[in-house]
Amino acid sequence: MAIALSSPVTGGAQTGFTSPTYTVAADAALNAHSKQYAVTAVGGAGNTARVHAADDPFTVAYFRPATYRAQGAANAFGIPTSIPRNVDKIVVRKGVKPHTSLNPQPMVITIAVDRPAGCESNNPVDVRAALSLAIGALNQLSAGIGDTTVSGIL
């Protein structure tokens, strides 16, 4: 299995969270082209987030294309006339309370990998390099993204 979270997941550093961890369990997939995990426990100093419940989600899901698209037919010069796109998505849902007297409402974080069809086989090194940088940058910027999301200060 290429997409398989091992539990616990070490979270990215956040202001107020020391070594955050998330215990996950496989959850029912949303469709035949996805995998989903629910957070069943949180750990790390300062991490008092609520775990997953039916009315208070805390999940991470991975979606792949239902059908991978290929490059279009080539023209007289051997160049494809259309280049469709393949998109994978990671979606994190977390119930957040907009007010102490209200029920949790979903916060949704979507990360999409939108790439031209054919690059997977014709240029896998650069595909992996782009993903490596994106994941590394997200990890490095984790606390800053959290601070900016909460404070609005860039």
Domain boundaries, the chain: 9-151
Mean pLDDT of the chain: 92
pLDDT tens digits along 22-58: 999 999 999 999 999 999 999 998 888 999 999 999 9
Tabulate helix, strand, coil % of the chain (nearest 5): 20, 40, 40
What pTM was estimated for this model as a whole? 0.87
**What pLDDT does 69 receive?**
92
Is the pLDDT reported for residue 1 higher than 80?
no
Residue 114, Cβ neighbours under 10 Å: how many? Answer: 9
